[in-house]
Amino acid sequence: MRERIMAACGNDCSACPRYIKEPYVKTETELAHTAELWYKIGYRDHVVTNEEISCTGCKEDNWCRYKVIKCTNEKQIEHCGQCSQFPCDNIRECFEVTKSFEPFCKQVCTDAEYAIISKAFFEKEKNLSDK
């Protein structure tokens, strides 16, 4: 069993089809499929390159609409679940917006694709509450 890696917002990086750090290396074909999937579900407005779709984890210079990694870095915590203010309005909004994508993902994804996306992104509140 692989180690679970959790993002500051509660995403399960170890389940994410974009995450490429050892031991979660993805093939060029897997990354290309992920880029196509992100376009199909509306996470991107075009099919991006494998380099653009790949991810090695949260960094402050990565774009994040909620600036979660900036906040956790300032508070010197690994993720929002460790914050004394959890759940704050910012992370609640993050949960709500993320969940808003779920019905469409369920509609356009195969069962296998949806299972991966669900584990990676739609369980962030549970992941943070469990920690």
Identify the H or E element spanning 2: none
4 band by pLDDT with thresholds 50, 70 and 90: confident
Rg of the chain over Cα atoms, rounded to whole angstroms, equals: 15
> Does the N-terminal peptide bond of residue 103 adopt cis geometry, omega within 30 degrees of 0?
no
Residue 21 carries which DSSP code?
S
pLDDT of residue 89: 94
Q: Is residue 1 pLDDT above 60, yes or no?
A: no
Q: Is residue 122 pLDDT above 90, yes or no?
A: yes
Say whether 19 sits in a helix, a strand or coil: strand
pLDDT of residue 58: 87
- HEC per residue, 44-105: CCCCCCHHHHCECCCCCCCCCCCCHHHHHHHHCCCCHHHCCCCCCHHHHHHHHHHHHCHHHH
Residue with tokens 């906040």: 71
pLDDT of residue 66: 86
> Is 36 buried (19+), middle (13-18) or exposed (0-12) by CB count in 10 A?
middle
3 band by pLDDT with thresholds 50, 70 and 90: confident
pLDDT of residue 131: 59
pLDDT of residue 46: 96
pLDDT in tens, 53-103: 999 998 888 778 888 999 999 999 999 999 999 999 999 999 999 999 999
